[in-house]
Chains A and B, each alone.
Chain A
Amino acid sequence: MKVLVTVTDVAVVDDEFEIDGLDVDERYLTYELNEWDDYAVEEAVQIAEDVTDVEVVTVTVGPERSEEVIRKALAKGADRAVRVWDDAIAERDLLDAETKAELLAAVAREEEPDLILSGVQSGDDSFAATGVTLAEKLGDEWAAVVNQLDLDQDEGLASVHRELEGGVDELTDVELPAVLTIQTGINEPRYASLRGIRQAQNKPLDVKSLEELGLDGSALESPLRWTATYEPESEGEATVFEGAPDETAGELAGVLRDEGVGQ
């Protein structure tokens, strides 16, 4: 069985920052493993630990910088990695969900995984659409916002819980091959052990260009344009209740009631 996990690094912006052109100035950015992907990697590694003969492969659309988080996924137990990048991709200001899904689908067609796990969203761009778009492109079954997964390999079935609005859980059976977008909290992501970090240095990490995936520049065409980035005026409204707790608690309760929070 093969599990493909989409992994990306996300930009974290410092508290104080400046905008340079379209984006936040690089000086104020640090990169880390996308939180949702950490859970997806953990889920895949747990499957590999439970079921014999499972290969876990990660796939990333990203520049060389992203190898840091790829190595982290490898250190946590993924077997090998594919990274998609070339000059043409690097020139794009914006890689929308459609474009990323196109590139990921090309890798998936080569790898032919039984199961693809992606994060619900990436913490910086927050499109939350890449996983399901990928399923659409592959013609695979899919389930989004999965917070529990039971795999029946013999039946080729994934029984999942999906987290819906308002604390409702939906139970669905999805036929493999399938794409599941993984919600945080589905498991407890492990720390990378030092042995894992050491082994990860020797695990295969292949870099593929558009051409090597059998794609051309048209794969990058997108109807979306990134036009501007600005910091919205922050408006703060704080009410401070002064006085003894028994009085102020009543006032607070009144406000909460008016806002529709409490009864």
Chain B
Amino acid sequence: MDFALSDEQKQVRDEVRHFANEEIVPVATEYDTEEKFPHDLVEQAAELGIVGANVPLEYGGVGYDYLTNILIVEELFAADPGIGLSISSAAFGADALVAFGTEEQKEKFLRPVAEGDAIMGSAISEPDVGSDVSSVATSAEKDGDEWVIDGNKMWITNGSVGDYFVVVCETDPDAEGRYNGFSQIIVESDRDGFSAEKITGKLGIRASDTAELLFDGVRVPEENLVGTRGAGFLQLMQFFDETRTAVAAQGVGIARGAAERALDYAQEREQFGQPISEFQAIQHKLADMHTQTEAARQLTYKSAWSVDHADDDLTQLASMAKEYASRVAVDVADEAVQIHGGAGYVNDFDVERFYRDAKITQIYEGTTEIQKNIIARELLGKGMV
């Protein structure tokens, strides 16, 4: 067992940290306040290989393993979760293309994302489809050599800025079994009948774009089908373990960002003639925050390691990491505001934003409750729930 990162992983981490501190931190409040998508930063990050870090080299990515990818996510989120998500989600859905896409699809859709010329997204949720992902109602019907798509997708990250989306559609309503009959289809945002409505007023991650997608008889060529018709759901589920591990890393980043800022503030702020870090009550908070963050990080690393080594316990670990790290993010951000007192209640200090941003990690990619269902299911040896 080896707990050390490789020299190369440390270099990646340090350089992404350098980039995040120089380029993201100074503008984070502005993008949060204005709910503005950071186009330039996403492009710059893509040029540095941050967006396509785990896209294979032959398609313009860097071909890094999942653990290295996770280090990048932590760094971005420790700087700012909203801009961090904008950057790390620019390749949402790319996993499916890497695993199941044809050579043409990879050239056409993967390379532009890895090289910063396109943004993509992954559209699963619908107004009536949240935790129960198997009830997708957006339909795709075959008409000659085209798919005709009708329906709505809700809460789609990059919805109004994305160039194309991997959309989960029902293609074979008569298929037997709850998880059969769905397919993943690529839909470009410039197709007739496609529209996106940006959702504003989010509690946190406000730089990140979220939208509702409307498909009104959208026609795409049949070669936009990803992988096997009818197996879309099974294809999708292969990546839940990865995407959940990524959200765990988001939680670790948020917790670390909040904990570091609280540590700095506690040493500067003086009351009763001494820095508040001299009070044991504050010291214990800081100790707990950093301990929880490190524990969440180790669970997340183990989950990422399991992705890279195809470990049997991966599904359970990914849900444990996601659930725990997101809880730690929320708790640590809460304590960070507490340590800042009144100053933490306004956006002069970053912890106010981290406090709002943290919550999303308990909701998307499967809520806390769903993660616990999965962990229990794995423990009790039950089938899919």
Contacts of B19 in A (CB 8 A): 191
A77 to B64, CA, bound (A): 19
Does B79 touch A at the CB level, under 8 Å?
no
Contacts of B108 in A (CB 8 A): none
Interface pair A191/B11, CB less than 8 Å apart:
no
Contacts of A68 in B (CB 8 A): 7, 10-11
A31 to B11, CA, bound (A): 13
Which residues 316-365 in B have Cβ within 8 Å of A in the complex?
A: none
Binds B, one of A48-56, A148-156, A194-202, A215-223: A194-202
Interface pair A197/B15, CB less than 8 Å apart:
yes
Interface pair A71/B63, CB less than 8 Å apart:
no
A40 to B50, CA, bound (A): 25
Does B62 touch A at the CB level, under 8 Å?
yes
Which residues 85-129 in B have Cβ within 8 Å of A in the complex?
A: none
Does B48 touch A at the CB level, under 8 Å?
yes
Does B2 touch A at the CB level, under 8 Å?
no
Min Cβ gap A114→B in Å is 30
A194 to B115, CA, bound (A): 12
Interface pair A193/B49, CB less than 8 Å apart:
yes
Min Cβ gap A41→B in Å is 14
Chain B 57-80 interface mask (CB, 8 Å, partner A; 1/0): 000001110000000000000000
A160 to B8, CA, bound (A): 36
Does B12 touch A at the CB level, under 8 Å?
yes
A71 to B10, CA, bound (A): 11
A193 to B57, CA, bound (A): 13
Chain B 6-28 interface mask (CB, 8 Å, partner A; 1/0): 01101110010011000000000
Does A44 touch B at the CB level, under 8 Å?
no
Does B255 touch A at the CB level, under 8 Å?
no
Which residue of chain B has the shortest Cβ distance to A198 in the bound complex? B62
Interface pair B12/A197, CB less than 8 Å apart:
yes
Which residues 41-100 in A have Cβ within 8 Å of B in the complex?
A: 68, 71-72, 75
Interface pair A201/B18, CB less than 8 Å apart:
no
Contacts of B262 in A (CB 8 A): none
Interface pair A198/B8, CB less than 8 Å apart:
yes
Which residue of chain A has the shortest Cβ distance to B23 in the bound complex? A191
Which residue of chain A has the shortest Cβ distance to B63 in the bound complex? A198
A191 to B72, CA, bound (A): 15
Does B268 touch A at the CB level, under 8 Å?
no
Does B132 touch A at the CB level, under 8 Å?
no
A interface, over-half SS: helix
Size range of the chain B interface in the assembly: 10 to 19
Does B53 touch A at the CB level, under 8 Å?
yes
Min Cβ gap B312→A in Å is 30
Interface pair A197/B8, CB less than 8 Å apart:
yes
- Our pick among A72, A191, A194, A200 for the contact of B62 (Cβ within 8 Å) is A194
Which residue of chain A has the shortest Cβ distance to B72 in the bound complex? A194
A198 to B7, CA, bound (A): 11
Does A192 touch B at the CB level, under 8 Å?
yes
Contacts of B12 in A (CB 8 A): 194, 197
Interface pair B47/A197, CB less than 8 Å apart:
no
A2 to B63, CA, bound (A): 31
A192 to B62, CA, bound (A): 13
Min Cβ gap A230→B in Å is 26
Interface pair A193/B11, CB less than 8 Å apart:
no
Interface pair A197/B18, CB less than 8 Å apart:
no
- Our pick among A72, A192, A194, A201 for the contact of B53 (Cβ within 8 Å) is A194
Contacts of A191 in B (CB 8 A): 15, 18-19, 48
Min Cβ gap B342→A in Å is 25
Interface pair A71/B7, CB less than 8 Å apart:
yes
Interface pair B48/A198, CB less than 8 Å apart:
no
A201 to B7, CA, bound (A): 9
Interface pair B7/A194, CB less than 8 Å apart:
no
Min Cβ gap A186→B in Å is 18
Contacts of A75 in B (CB 8 A): 11, 15
- Our pick among B11, B48, B62, B64 for the contact of A71 (Cβ within 8 Å) is B11
Supposing A191-B15, A194-B53 touch, asked if A201 and B47 sit within 8 A by C-beta, the answer is no
Chain A 181-209 interface mask (CB, 8 Å, partner B; 1/0): 00000000001111111101100000000
A68 to B47, CA, bound (A): 23
Which residue of chain B has the shortest Cβ distance to A72 in the bound complex? B11
Which residue of chain B has the shortest Cβ distance to A71 in the bound complex? B11
Contacts of B64 in A (CB 8 A): 194, 198
Contacts of A71 in B (CB 8 A): 7, 11
Interface centre among A71, A72, A75, A192 (most CB of B within 10 A): A192
Min Cβ gap A77→B in Å is 13
Interface pair A195/B11, CB less than 8 Å apart:
no
Min Cβ gap A200→B in Å is 8
Min Cβ gap A92→B in Å is 26
Which residue of chain A has the shortest Cβ distance to B68 in the bound complex? A194
Interface pair A193/B63, CB less than 8 Å apart:
no
Interface pair A193/B8, CB less than 8 Å apart:
no
Min Cβ gap B59→A in Å is 13
Which residue of chain A has the shortest Cβ distance to B15 in the bound complex? A192
Contacts of B47 in A (CB 8 A): 193
A258 to B8, CA, bound (A): 55
A212 to B12, CA, bound (A): 33
Contacts of A200 in B (CB 8 A): 11
Interface centre among B47, B50, B62 (most CB of A within 10 A): B62
Chain A residues proximal to chain B, CB less than 8 Å:
68, 71-72, 75, 191-198, 200-201
Q: Which 9 A-B pairs have the closest CB atoms?
A: A194-B49, A194-B62, A193-B48, A195-B49, A193-B49, A192-B15, A197-B11, A191-B19, A195-B62
> 18 A-B Cβ contacts within 8 A?
A68-B10, A71-B7, A72-B15, A75-B15, A191-B18, A192-B48, A193-B47, A193-B49, A194-B15, A194-B49, A194-B53, A194-B62, A194-B64, A197-B11, A197-B15, A198-B64, A200-B11, A201-B8
Chain B residues proximal to chain A, CB less than 8 Å:
7-8, 10-12, 15, 18-19, 47-50, 53, 62-64
